Amino acid sequence: MNNKGKHGERKKSYQKRNRMLLLFIILAMVLVYIICQKREDETYATTTSASIGDIIDIVESGQANVSRYIVYGTHLNLEGSLDITNPEIEDVKIAIKKASGEETLVDTTYEYENGNLSFSTLDKINKGLDLESLEETNYYVLLKVISSNEQESYYSLSNDTEYSDPIEYYTLTRNNSNNRIDIRFLTQNSASAMALSVSKIHKLPNDVYDVVIDPGHGGNDTGAISGSYEEDEIVLENGLELKKKLENLGLKVLITRDGTETDEYDTYNIYDEDGRVTMANKSGAKILISLHMNSNESDFVDGGVEVYAANNMDLTLAKTFADNIVDEADTTYSKMQTDKVENGVYVRTLEVNPNSSTFRGYKGIYDEVPYLFIIREIGGIATGAYVNGSNSSYGENIYRNSNVGVEGYLIELGYMNVNSDLRNVVNNGDLYMQAITDSINSYYKIR
């Protein structure tokens, strides 16, 4: 055999050996993944082995009925009632109790009349029980009634809602780590209890995110225009920058559009399968930031930032956004007074004719829900989402009745028709996005 033939055989031998090595590496990686997944599943199975028997000794015979329970953003809230004869009630709390006895109390409003105690933690939908603060163990959600003689009584919770499936909640990514929290009602014979089971996971599921960024408009909808500048292009550029900054914090980020959308992308398909509202609702994210540029027909001398949020939310984070943007991006608070709550923070609700329950073709709408669709329709029942398909001009929000919602903020970075605002956003957009990133980092304690 000549040298050329020997070289050819050696080459084939090397190729075969490399293919075998590559196959071995792939099989090893698959095996490691299966083992890790099995360990995670076993850990989760162990953690979720909660039983009503763990708390049966401390609860009273009566059960409180939960008429609503909601996960909005990072918090769990609920409301319900209890039939009880106790005219000497001093206080009522929702108690999050470990099997060991240690408990966390959640601020609860209540009313007692004619033997019926009604209770709620829903004063602010993004407060209540902070799911991010829970340790890896089992918890039980109980109603704690304190009498004037300091006697404490605990009542288990029974599900009296239309929601029967467990809620799978995933905490924000910190140090490449997350917790999975399973929220469900246990039943045993005639007894019922609400339980939270917390376990560590090695990464978020593929379809679950921490944050959603929504660059406004897009496709054939340019938004506001000033000279050669278009709102949709400005906010997309800044949205992509914000995505990078949040990912540098270790967060998993979804963006509702990336500039590849066609002219068919407009305000009328936001509820399609790949529409911005649907994407946000099914993302499992805790927070959505919708970026916009403002405009006004009047000749403004001053512009400034405006942060919009839902009317039934705690506005601490909204204020943090506004303050940090003003400080870090060298801009100002908007001078607009309509819907203003405090400097830079705005809450706008629907204005519905009090003699009619119909709004834009939708029936049963009331005026205490957010006006801005991106805030309202990603919050489910917490924010009064109502797009049900009855208006042929729009699609249908299939998540409108969900008891899991994304905490939404719409940020108007500045005014297109105010030259100083426009120049600042165009030239210093990274400072605006850094301010938003810093706000999320400090508020949620990511790092």
Over residues 104-139, the pLDDT tens digits come to 999 999 999 999 999 999 999 999 999 999 999 999
Task: Tell me, yes or no, whether 343 and 415 share the same domain.
Answer: yes
107 part of a folded domain = yes
Contact of 256 with 215, CB cutoff 8 Å = yes
Kindly state whether residue 36 falls inside one of the protein's structural domains.
no
State whether 191 and 296 are in the same domain.
no
- Are 68 and 113 in a shared domain? yes
Higher-scoring residue by pLDDT: 270, 55: 270
Q: How many residues can be counted in the chain?
A: 447
List, in sequence order, every residue forming a beta bridge with 169; answer none if it has no partner. Answer: 181
111 plus 239 within the same structural domain? no
- Domain containing 154 — which CATH number? 2.60.40
Q: Does one domain contain both 233 and 365? A: yes
Hey, what's the torsion of the CAs at 234, 239, 240, 241, to 10 degrees?
A: 90
Q: State residue 427's pLDDT score.
A: 98
**Confidence check: pLDDT of 226 > 80:** yes
pLDDT band at residue 8 under the 50/70/90 scheme: low
Q: Work out the average pLDDT over 187-215.
A: 93
Per-residue model confidence as pLDDT tens digits over 245-256? 999 999 999 999
The long-range contacts involving 349-352, CB below 8 angstroms and separated by at least 24 positions, are: 349/311
Say if residues 63 and 155 touch (Cβ distance below 8 Å). Answer: yes
Question: Taking 60 as the threshold, does the pLDDT of residue 32 lie above it?
Answer: no
For 310-353, the pLDDT digits (tens) are: 999 999 999 999 999 999 999 999 999 999 999 999 999 987 76
pLDDT, average across residues 54-72: 90
Task: Give yes or no: residues 180 and 244 share one domain.
Answer: no
- Any domain includes 46: no
In this structure, are 324 and 427 located in the same domain? Answer: yes
Query: Where residue 348 sits, what CATH number does that domain have?
Result: 3.40.630.40
Same domain, 331 and 430: yes
So what's the pLDDT on residue 55? 81
The mean pLDDT value for 408-420 works out to: 96
Q: Spell out the residues 6+ positions from residue 385 whose beta carbon is closer than 8 angstroms to its own.
A: 376, 377, 378, 379, 397, 399, 400, 401, 402
Q: How far apart are CA 101 and CA 252, in angstroms?
A: 35
Q: Which domain holds residue 137?
A: 58-201
Q: Answer whether residue 289 is part of any domain.
A: yes
Count of structural domains, the chain: 2
Judge if 224 and 362 occupy the same domain. Answer: yes
**Do 307 and 346 have their domain in common?**
yes
Residue 52 lies in a domain: no
Last residue of a domain, one of 148, 175, 201: 201
**Alpha helix locations (H) across 329-418?**
373-376
Same domain, 316 and 433: yes
pLDDT band at 45; cut points 50, 70, 90:
very low
Residue that is last in its domain, among 201, 232, 262? 201
Is residue 23, in this structure, part of any structural domain at all? no
d(C-alpha 109, C-alpha 128), whole Å: 11
Q: Is residue 21 part of a domain?
A: no
Residue that is last in its domain, among 201, 220, 239: 201
The predicted structure's pLDDT at residue 356: 67
Nearest CA to 257 among 228, 277, 230? 277
Q: Does the pTM of the predicted model rise above 0.75?
A: yes
**Are 389 and 440 in a shared domain?**
yes
131: left (phi over 0), alpha (psi -120 to 50) or beta: alpha
How far is Cα 285 from Cα 295, in angstroms, rounded to an integer?
A: 29
The mean predicted confidence, pLDDT, of the chain is 89
80 occurs within a structural domain: yes
